[in-house]
Structure 1
């Protein structure tokens, strides 16, 4: 990272990073416009390449930044001591919403990175991306108590259906709130509805009592 970028105030840094992540997430690497990033970040024309050597340098910095944010402010906060799978997913959902409210562009950007083959990343970044994905998957299933499920259901399929249902609900809310600032929305009614859906899932897949 260019030392000049490190030296600017945090608010301006985040404005540049968010503008860049949003542009790359929406357009992909090749079609992303550095002019649009400059405009949305509200900086002078030559400043972006004063902070970063070139477009690829910026992109690689964003990947490194997004990985760090996802690990430190999302995955590291998931409590694997909760052995009830549905309760684990509830906790993950709560952590995820807080993280998205604070970092609205990180998830979309990192999803684009995983799906794109436009840029050959340095080996170290590729390894960190793979490790991030493995960590996220492990945190969903680590130490869960399979004995809570009914004996007449396939455990793996039940867990998958529960996860799809919960993630589908979250994705539907994200579509509804697209373009809005999540921090300014009263989420309590949505959490109440979410918990009702979780009760239905428990009734469907868990043993009685």
Structure 2
């Protein structure tokens, strides 16, 4: 995640760096994104960049974190509307957030998904969760009714949400290329949620 020195920058400076990174991540797949290009566009030195971030994964982490406020409010509204039902919440969230996403953000997600390093990026973000990301996870966790969960820990909830959002991102990637398949994407996503919810084994199977 970004360093404390980055977080102490004026808001305007952070916005300039964020927009420069977004421009680059939208321009090319994540693995081909150039730190030099981000530095040049943002008007900062290479030395400054590396006092703010360890690498471009850290920049991506900040972009996701920066989008958290809007994400969080959308999630909370969806959870409230669906009375804390996780499965209805996530489907509603996909309808209200994913399919109403601006095209440039769709391209950003596509470029990240297309990268051969996608698994590494996801794993990196999960292992180095920032205080802001954990705060958002806690809000999501608290908004959901977990009374019928076998494991009600926030850690397990976090893993489940990560898996569901990975599948959502894959659907978003397809939607970007084939918007006419919206209903098919929703159906397949719903089927995947059913597997997450009930598993694949027969319920009367004994260990």
| TM-score normalised by the chain length of structure 2 | 0.50
**Equivalences for residues 27-38 of structure 1 within 5 A:** 32=34, 34=36, 37=37
RMSD over aligned Cα atoms:
5.2
SS at structure 2 position matched to 1:189? helix
CA distance in 2, matches of 1:65, 1:159: 22
CA distance in 2, matches of 1:168, 1:200: 14
1:64–1:171 distance in 2 versus 1, CA, 3 Å: closer
Q: Does 1:155 pair with 2:151?
A: yes
Instruction: Indicate conservation of the 8 Å contact 1:85/1:141, yes or no.
Output: no
SS at structure 2 position matched to 1:155? coil
For 1:71, which of 68, 72, 76 is the aligned residue? 68
For 1:170, which of 168, 171, 194 is the aligned residue? 168
Q: Does 1:85 pair with 2:82?
A: no
For 1:20, which of 24, 36, 40 is the aligned residue? 24
1:137–1:25 distance in 2 versus 1, CA, 3 Å: same
In the TM superposition, what whole-angstrom CA distance separates every residue of 1:3-30 from its partner, at most 9, and x where no partner exists? 89x89xxxxx96x5434335694258xx
For 1:195, which of 190, 199, 204 is the aligned residue? 190
Deviation of the 1:66 alpha carbon: 1.5
In the TM superposition, what whole-angstrom CA distance separates every residue of 1:51-104 from its partner, at most 9, and x where no partner exists? 512235568595696256412332332124241121223234445524585524
CA distance in 2, matches of 1:20, 1:136: 26
Instruction: Indicate conservation of the 8 Å contact 1:52/1:58, yes or no.
Output: no
In the TM superposition, what whole-angstrom CA distance separates every residue of 1:141-190 from its partner, at most 9, and x where no partner exists? 2142233x2xxx7234885786466345335435x63xx84695542221
SS at structure 2 position matched to 1:146? coil
Consecutive unaligned residues in structure 1, runs of 5 or more? 8-12, 39-47, 117-125
CA distance in 2, matches of 1:99, 1:19: 17
Q: Does 1:132 pair with 2:127?
A: no
Instruction: Indicate conservation of the 8 Å contact 2:85/2:145, yes or no.
Output: yes
Partner of 2:43: 52
CA distance in 2, matches of 1:198, 1:114: 21
Query: What is the aligned length?
Result: 167
SS at structure 1 position matched to 2:84? coil
